[in-house]
Chains A and B, each alone.
Chain A
């Protein structure tokens, strides 16, 4: 176990006191284990609806592990204990239908991973699997999700082209479009721009800011400028603990914990 020079028990977590219906998601004593190694140490975090929450921290701080636990993507990879409340249900419990959970809590990954299908089929595939057969509805869904992901204008004339022929930034926006076509409540993004160039990155950021009108967004990022630019709330992770969680402007202007201050000012280590 890495020894930290910071006192990990010294934390400042903003308790979101909103009514439950204004909360999109809430974790309670969430712990994650990879075999015998513990990666997340019983964290409590609440996410407000229609806001962007950033999870920041160094590599290995557990932020991605935490994010992946929220829609059960860690099933079969890690053991996740504790509770995750969504619509009043603990979706971390055994008798929950994880497929349905994932339909409502979508995820976009670090590297773009479109299917080896056409642009259109990338979006319609899961919809059709879900039983949507109507051609017009499918076409409408393709158009609206591509527009939401700010990709429509670039690809509207070549929807039958293979998605693998798109640029990295376009592929990532296609992955976002594919996810929002499912009309989820919550979008989880795991460093969605880390593999992209600055121009594609800023396009993704603009897209996310637009999207928060309709979706609750939780994003893991390495990039602190990105967190401060786009997010409403920020949580700082360190060695599997959430050290500080607050409104983004507070975290970046007036952090209460030394570790957070060191991290955002680049003196961390």
Chain B
């Protein structure tokens, strides 16, 4: 009888723990959204920020976050793709490959602040790129590379070997087999990984504080020549992102409505992350369905 009671109690505790974790998430989301959403308005999303007075927005930070994300993906995706293809398709089973895998694992577990400091040292200081979007995008690339590489490798490896043999047996080169047959079949997994990674990049701040910088210079949204210093597309201007903004106003902010701006910004970040999550699922599923189902044209 004792074991039966023990069983009931233990299982009840496990259930309780699971419920608590859900409650924690519900509390977090509820707290952020309830506190933040009332502050979100068109003005808040588009107006430039204010340092000393209230009523500032996050327009520039939001644009910077998106621009940095796009640049990061443009740099990191091709490199991860090549590296992922190497690991899944070309890597010989030897000591060197083991070292390479370890290097990627180490990179993925490096604290992002260390990655940011390295970016600061090499790009901002040594290469004299200054606090700039480009420095930030490179730092975020280092941060994003290992995860994306692993995701691509896993997605490729999940495609059955038989598909590779099918291509090889037709006399296709290994490269063509991988890029034209295996890659399209691995695409749902890869896209899901890219979008989830994008969510992580979007919210990252520690790697950016000393690379993209902490100041949001005014940009002129009518000037789209990337070489003009006021252009939104200029890659050499310092660019505070939304995540860095939240950190900064909480650590050293002197604006009177710091709390409201933080709450609003946090809510925007969370909504963005939720959207990325949703998008990853929808895109992954849609692509998967497209691959397997019949076309009707």
Contact = CB atoms under 8 A, between A and B. Distances in A.
Q: Does a CB–CB distance below 8 Å link A and B in the complex? A: yes
A111 interface: yes
Interface string A103-126: 100111101011111100000011
A129 B180 CA distance: 10
A106 B169 contact: yes
Nearest to B160: A113
A154 to B, nearest CB: 14
Interface residues of B, number: 23
Contacts of B274: none
A102 interface: yes
Looking at B162, B171, B172, B185, the one whose CB has the most chain A CB atoms below 10 A away is B171
B245 to A, nearest CB: 44
A126 B160 contact: no
A109 B171 contact: no
B295 A99 contact: no
B294 to A, nearest CB: 4
Interface of B: 160, 162-163, 165-173, 176, 180-181, 184-185, 291-295, 297
Given A99-B171, A126-B171, A129-B176, A175 B166 contact: yes
Nearest to B290: A162
A182 B170 CA distance: 7
A111 B169 contact: no
A125 B177 CA distance: 11
Contact of A115 (B166, B173, B292, B297): B166
Given A73-B165, A160-B295, A116 B173 contact: no
Interface string A83-117: 00000000000000001111100111101011111
Given A115-B181, A116-B185, A109 B165 contact: yes
13 contacts: A71-B169, A73-B169, A100-B171, A102-B170, A114-B166, A115-B163, A125-B170, A125-B181, A126-B170, A129-B172, A160-B295, A161-B294, A165-B294
Given A101-B171, A108-B169, 6 more contacts: A107-B169, A113-B160, A114-B166, A126-B172, A162-B295, A179-B169
A223 B166 CA distance: 23
Contacts of A115: 163, 166-167, 181, 185
A102 B169 contact: yes
A152 interface: no
A178 interface: yes
A158 interface: yes
